[in-house]
Amino acid sequence: MATPMRSGPPRQGRNPELLPASAPGASQEEIRRQNLGAVLRYVHVHGLTSRAELTSRLRLNRSTIGALAADLAAAGLVTEEAPTTARRAGRPSLVVSPRSGRVYAHALSIEADRLRAARVGLGGRILDLREADRPSGMAAPDAVAPLADLVRDMERAVPGDALLAGGGVAVVDTTRDADGRIRIGGADETLHAALSAEFGAGPRFVTGDLADIAALAEHVRGVAAGVNDVVYLHGDLGVSAGIISGGRLVLGHRGRSGKVGHMVVNPDGLPCGCGSRGCWETEIGEAALLRHAGREPGGPDAVADVLRAAAAGEQPAVAAVERVADWLGFGVANLVNVVNPNTVVFGGSLRELYLAGAGTVRRRLDTMVLPPCREIVHLRAAALGRDAALIGAAELAFDTLLADPLHAGAAG
């Protein structure tokens, strides 16, 4: 995948990025590919854009942008048209838009209790969406067949000239066993085998951790758009994170970063399903909130009920929210000290918990985070909701197309 080049000297006082020790050189063909990708990516992220804006933002000259946009239009990836609003003087700059209705990706999410499949158009628009239950005990690879059924169902409504760019799959790491116990470990090689078996010569699927993928979505077009240092926290059965540093996902050596639910925050705490004790999940998970509120174990509905009771001022729900929000802030403070984000985003079930206990969370940061990091960190509720996983999965899928617009994405 091509990495657009950045120019300009490094500024004093700012560390330059590391470069790979062995970096391939650039050829003419690669440059054209890269520039086509830069134009297509820009309109994919920003929507309708004038040629003039592309010229200034991409720092290419006007005729180059014109030729690139024309090539992309000829390939059916963008449209070019005169702007609808009149300009003061001179020839109006054509506006370039992604062909969201024609160019699309399959986006799948394998969530704790739900399977979702969407067609997402270039530009990040959800064109179609189907859902099914994920029964307890269904392993991620076994979810591929019912998802493929949903995909085939959606495909019937796709226009004949549509272009399938590829597929992306967001998989949660924590699932429910048939006996209701929580099990850790979602995506693995068997998932890829299941995707190949089910889709055969169809779209190539890229898979990723749901929290990473949702973080990507919030970074590209959600509450963290334009923010380069982000910790996105996702709560469902477990708690995991998607960490973005300098505009790039911190994936880890095997893509297994962000297992923040298994940071030990309370050495004297309860046993965790992972075999350790006092993990963050044991203090901020659904089970902790219900336990402190004196409720029976339950799912999202039971949690929502506690949050409603707390909002109405009912004890012990208020105390339970305070206590869990305090531990939420505790773990966030540790993460902020480690990765120094500009923005922390609370997603999944943590969104509502954060909104219910924002003051408590912030107080923890005020005592535990070093002052220079504390002052700059923004805490935000996620903007894209459950669609984040699908929109992010589509981003993964579009990446091949955006890296090489004229030679990729012909899988459909």
Question: Contacts with a copy of itself in 249-278 (CB under 8 A)?
Answer: 249-260, 262-268, 274-276
Among 70, 75, 355, 368, binds a copy of itself (CB under 8 A): 368
Q: Does 2 bind a copy of itself (CB under 8 A)?
A: yes
Among 48, 182, 302, 376, binds a copy of itself (CB under 8 A): 376
**Paired residues of 345 in beta bridges:** 232, 380
Q: C-alpha angle 239/387/126, rounded to 5°?
A: 160
Instruction: Give the x-and-dash track for 18-57 against a copy of itself (CB under 8 A).
Output: xxxxxxxxxx--xx--xx--xx-xx--xx----------x
DSSP 344: E
Q: Binders of a copy of itself among 59-98, rule CB under 8 A?
A: 59-60, 64
Q: Does 1 bind a copy of itself (CB under 8 A)?
A: yes
State the Cα–Cα distance between residues 124 and 121, nearest whole angstrom. 6
Nearer to a copy of itself, 309 or 347 (CB): 347
ω before 316 within 30° of 0 (cis)? yes
Among 52, 58, 381, 406, binds a copy of itself (CB under 8 A): 58
Nearer to a copy of itself, 43 or 293 (CB): 43
Among 95, 151, 184, 237, binds a copy of itself (CB under 8 A): 184
Nearer to a copy of itself, 29 or 301 (CB): 29
Q: Does 177 bind a copy of itself (CB under 8 A)?
A: no
Question: Rounded to the nearest 5°, which phi and psi values hold at 272?
Answer: -110, 155
Ordered DSSP codes for 70-98: HHHHHTTSEEEE--SS--SSSSPPPEEEE
How far out from the chain centre does Cα 296 lie? 32
Q: How many CB atoms lie within 10 A of CB 155?
A: 15
Q: Binders of a copy of itself among 306-335, rule CB under 8 A?
A: 330, 333-335
The least distance separating a copy of itself from the CB of residue 259, rounded to whole angstroms, comes to 4
- Mark 191-215 as b/e (b = at least 16 C-beta within 10 Å): bbebbeebbeebbbbbbbbbbbbbb
Nearer to a copy of itself, 157 or 338 (CB): 338
Nearer to a copy of itself, 317 or 403 (CB): 403
The least distance separating a copy of itself from the CB of residue 304, rounded to whole angstroms, comes to 29
Among 52, 291, 340, 383, binds a copy of itself (CB under 8 A): 340
Alpha-carbon radius of gyration of the chain: 23
Residue range at the interface with a copy of itself (CB under 8 A); choices 108-116, 238-246, 294-302, 355-363: 238-246
DSSP reduced 3-state for 11: coil
Q: Does 399 bind a copy of itself (CB under 8 A)?
A: yes
CB 136, CB 180: distance < 8 Å: yes
160: amino acid identity, one letter: G
The least distance separating a copy of itself from the CB of residue 278, rounded to whole angstroms, comes to 10
DSSP reduced 3-state for 241: strand
State the Cα–Cα distance between residues 397 and 51, nearest whole angstrom. 26
The least distance separating a copy of itself from the CB of residue 403, rounded to whole angstroms, comes to 7
Q: Does 158 bind a copy of itself (CB under 8 A)?
A: no
CB 134, CB 115: distance < 8 Å: yes
State the Cα–Cα distance between residues 93 and 83, nearest whole angstrom. 7
DSSP reduced 3-state for 336: helix
Nearer to a copy of itself, 8 or 313 (CB): 8
Report the interhelical angle of 387-403 vs 28-46 (nearest 10°).
150
Q: Binders of a copy of itself among 92-131, rule CB under 8 A?
A: none
Among 78, 95, 206, 356, binds a copy of itself (CB under 8 A): 206
